[in-house]
Structure 1
Amino acid sequence: MDSDRVSALIGQRVRQYRLNQDLTQEDLATLANVSLNAVKSAEGGKSTLPTYVAILQALGHIDNLLAAFPDEGVSP
């Protein structure tokens, strides 16, 4: 899967998380302490990692992001 497709899927999931919580984009922007344009960009799959972190924290889904980077411990 190419990076554009992955970005689009992440944006779709952020949008679905927001809608499942019955939040407007404006509500989410306020909760995440980001701009409305930042939320719109994130849902469009065009954002930065710090913005996704803020949004996922606000939505209570930060564990989903952290699951992509499991702690493998120290390799000998």
Structure 2
Amino acid sequence: MKNGLFSGDISPACEYCEYGRRASDNVMILCIKKGMVSPYYSCRKFLYSPLKRVPKRQPRLPEFSPEEFQL
């Protein structure tokens, strides 16, 4: 991807393409250009839509006790 607003390490996938919509089975993607495709498929018409991409969850922070901060 050559978009200056987002990092370039986002791999193209129809799951977050502007032309793709999730099918009723919540597995496949209905693409305006290619028809029904896999969520990880990508074609030459791929256009990144940042609002469709779901970011990964942040890992939970470990629980600390007050004894760990005493000198």
**TM-score past 0.5 threshold:** no
* Structure with greater Cα Rg: 2
Name the TM-score, length of structure 1 as normaliser.
0.29
Q: Which structure shows the higher helix fraction?
A: 1
Name the TM-score, length of structure 2 as normaliser.
0.30
